[in-house]
Amino acid sequence: MNTQDTRDNNRIAQLEERVQRAQDALAAQETFLSNMSHDIRTPMNAIVGMTALAKKHIDEKARVMDALNKIEVASTHLLSLINEVLDISRINSGRLSIGEELFSLGDMLHDILIIIRPQMEGKGHHFTFSVGEVFAEDLHGDPLRLRQIFVNIINNAVKYTPDGGEISVRVSVEPPEEEAGKRAFLLFTCRDNGIGMSEEFLKKLFVPFERDASVAASGIEGTGLGMGIVKSLVEAMSGTIQVESRLGEGTGVTIRVPLRFEEAGSHTGELWGKRLLILEGSREQQDIYRQYLGEAGIAFETAPSMPEALAMLTDAQLHEKSFDGIILGADTGDANCLEIAAYLHKAYPALPLVLASEADWEKIEYRAGRCGIHTFIPVPFFRKSLLRGLDEALSQKSTAGTFGSAPDFSGRHILLAEDNLINREIACEILGSTNAEIDTAEDGKQALDLYLSKPEGYYDLVLMDVQMPVMDGYEATKAIRESGRSDAMPIRIFAMTANTFAEDIARARAAGMNGHIAKPIDISKLMQMLRQIL
């Protein structure tokens, strides 16, 4: 065979390989579209059906509430599907970007546990969460993407582990590998004893649109996009991901991501010479308190139950060795922590009460404030976050006066720019609960005109949609900032938009906005943000 024939054969082989790859990609996409069609229709059918039922039984409060709860669940699932499709589209087009901001590891882990625990409990899983060495707890990175990665991994473990199975998660922060290193390593491990994966499928785990045929046949929902997105996000952070699995024996996932960190400092300002009482039944948590408070030289006593805590308080009064604060831990025995707080607040009104709990703070915030809770410390916590929370409580920087699902902003003025009528009505309803005065605009030009027509300093806050006719939110913000008025730079302008990627947030900042609120609006997060800035 001559050289020309060899070249021709090579070209033919390359063309055949390209054709085969194209056919495989087309087949995978057709399978994906079929799966997506099914997965999208499932929550959509629930939303449409439950809406019809709610309208039909509009006078039956219990049935309407049940329908609304199911619509909320289906809507959340549908939104996650849409986000996955958008993520994979950005990854494939090379437009994926990773943000970087300072965040608390403890706060992020607390949020993750709140998200995944209901699913665990629903399937009766035995869940173990543990923390290894934590070299640094304040890290620089993209907490939203990290949370997306970890929740995706844990959700898979929940999804593919039969009821009553075992799932364990361990998190640690390793020190830099070199003395002069600037990055610590966040190490995340998730293991389960679920259905596992075959060696054949394990090789295709990260390929977009791929789903295990046996899993798809079982009726477990999924698009085949999640692990591909996870791998892309981990690699975009210069991290690594390893997956070990055996069919019928379970799966283990290990993720290691390098992150810049903040050096741990001293946070014992108001704690020096203070004495604390800790109501905590968990031996593991007691050991954590001993470690962190002992290292800081803070005096404390621990009580595993409410009767013992009351005995210690009484004894302290008799011997004039009173406590300076009380920590209600994650395990308060059979008694409800808020009931305990209410009793202690009435009996010892001068003692600051600190709640250290896994609870979803947004759901109990109002009742906690009424029960006398001064400060909330999310569990899991680390040394710095524990001392910071205690320092806040004992220095009387109490947040008790700001509790409640809807703060009172009477006399405040908010300008809302939103072109969509339904979105505008929803936002006005939410904001109206704060008693603030709301002015609305249907586009950026109207928002600018309203701002200029009012006296300087009239508006306390501007909530600006981004995509609007006539003048978009970015242009309107720039025009406000460049108007030359004395309040042009101080006024707080927040983007309120469905554009939620890192580059969208960066663009909002570049246009002169102070922050970013994602749609659909999370009411609890919006109220928390309003408290902080107003």
Higher pLDDT among residues 96 and 174, named by residue: 174
The model's confidence at residue 423, banded by pLDDT at 50, 70 and 90, is: confident
DSSP one-letter string for 290-330: HHHHHHTT-EEEEESSHHHHHHHHHHHHHTT---SEEEE-S
Asked if residue 525 and residue 426 are part of one domain, the reply reads: yes
And the tokens for 384? 């710095």
Enumerate residues 6+ apart whose C-beta is below 8 A from 4: none
Position 407 in a domain: no
Asked if residue 119 and residue 236 are part of one domain, the reply reads: yes
Angle at the Cα of 70 from the Cα atoms of 67 and 75, rounded to 5 degrees = 120
Asked if residue 294 and residue 245 are part of one domain, the reply reads: no
pLDDT on residue 443: 93
Asked if residue 444 and residue 387 are part of one domain, the reply reads: no
Asked if residue 247 and residue 124 are part of one domain, the reply reads: yes
Closest CA to 267 of 377, 108, 344, 130: 377
Mean pLDDT of 169-175: 94
What is d(CA 406, CA 362) in angstroms, rounded to the nearest whole number? 11
What is d(CA 399, CA 348) in angstroms, rounded to the nearest whole number? 18
Asked if residue 105 and residue 88 are part of one domain, the reply reads: no
Q: Tell me what percent of the residues of the chain surpass a pLDDT of 70.
A: 87
Number of domains in the chain: 4
Give the CATH number for residue 315: 3.40.50.2300
Strand order in the sheet with 515-518: 437-441, 413-417, 461-464, 492-497, 515-518
What is d(CA 225, CA 241) in angstroms, rounded to the nearest whole number? 16
Q: Kindly give the interhelix angle for 444-453 and 473-481, rounded to the nearest 10 degrees.
A: 20
What is d(CA 220, CA 82) in angstroms, rounded to the nearest whole number? 18
Asked if residue 254 and residue 140 are part of one domain, the reply reads: yes
Position 267 in a domain: no
Asked if residue 457 and residue 362 are part of one domain, the reply reads: no
What is d(CA 210, CA 227) in angstroms, rounded to the nearest whole number? 10
Place of tokens 């900032």: 481
What is d(CA 461, CA 467) in angstroms, rounded to the nearest whole number? 19
Enumerate residues 6+ apart whose C-beta is below 8 A from 81: 36, 39, 40, 43, 223
Give the CATH number for residue 77: 1.10.287.130
Domain end among 223, 239, 261: 261
Position 191 in a domain: yes
| Residues listed for the chain | 534
250-261 and 183-192 strand pairing = antiparallel
Q: Which long-range contacts (CB under 8 A, 24 or more apart) does 468-472 make?
A: 468/417, 468/418, 468/419, 468/442, 468/443, 468/444, 469/419, 469/443, 470/443, 470/444, 470/445, 470/446, 471/443, 471/444, 471/445, 471/447, 472/444
**Inter-residue contact 119 to 530 (CB < 8 Å):** no
pLDDT on residue 170: 95
**Inter-residue contact 213 to 247 (CB < 8 Å):** no
DSSP one-letter string for 137-189: SEEEE-HHHHHHHHHHHHHHHHHTS-TT-EEEEEEEEEPPSSTT--EEEEEEE
Asked if residue 283 and residue 189 are part of one domain, the reply reads: no
Counting Cα atoms < 13 Å in the Cβ hemisphere of 193 gives 8
Q: Report how far Cα 351 is from the mean position of its chain's Cα atoms.
A: 32
Position 266 in a domain: no
State phi, psi for 340 to the nearest 5 degrees.
Answer: -60, -45
Asked if residue 470 and residue 527 are part of one domain, the reply reads: yes
- Over its C-alpha atoms, the chain yields an Rg (Å, rounded) of 27
Mean pLDDT of 74-79: 78
pLDDT on residue 399: 42
**Inter-residue contact 259 to 186 (CB < 8 Å):** yes
Position 269 in a domain: no
Mean pLDDT of 224-241: 88
Position 81 in a domain: yes
Position 268 in a domain: no
Position 35 in a domain: yes
Q: What is the pLDDT of residues 352-403, one digit of tens each?
A: 999 998 888 877 887 888 888 988 998 888 888 888 888 878 875 444 434 4
pLDDT on residue 149: 92
pLDDT at 36 over 70: no
Higher pLDDT among residues 461 and 420, named by residue: 461
> Count of CB atoms within 10 A of residue 119's CB?
15
Asked if residue 289 and residue 255 are part of one domain, the reply reads: no
Asked if residue 308 and residue 218 are part of one domain, the reply reads: no
Mean pLDDT of 337-348: 90
Domain with 37 in it: 3-92
pLDDT at 213 over 90: no
Residue type, 363: K
Give the CATH number for residue 213: 3.30.565.10
Domain end among 261, 284, 306: 261
Domain end among 261, 283, 312: 261
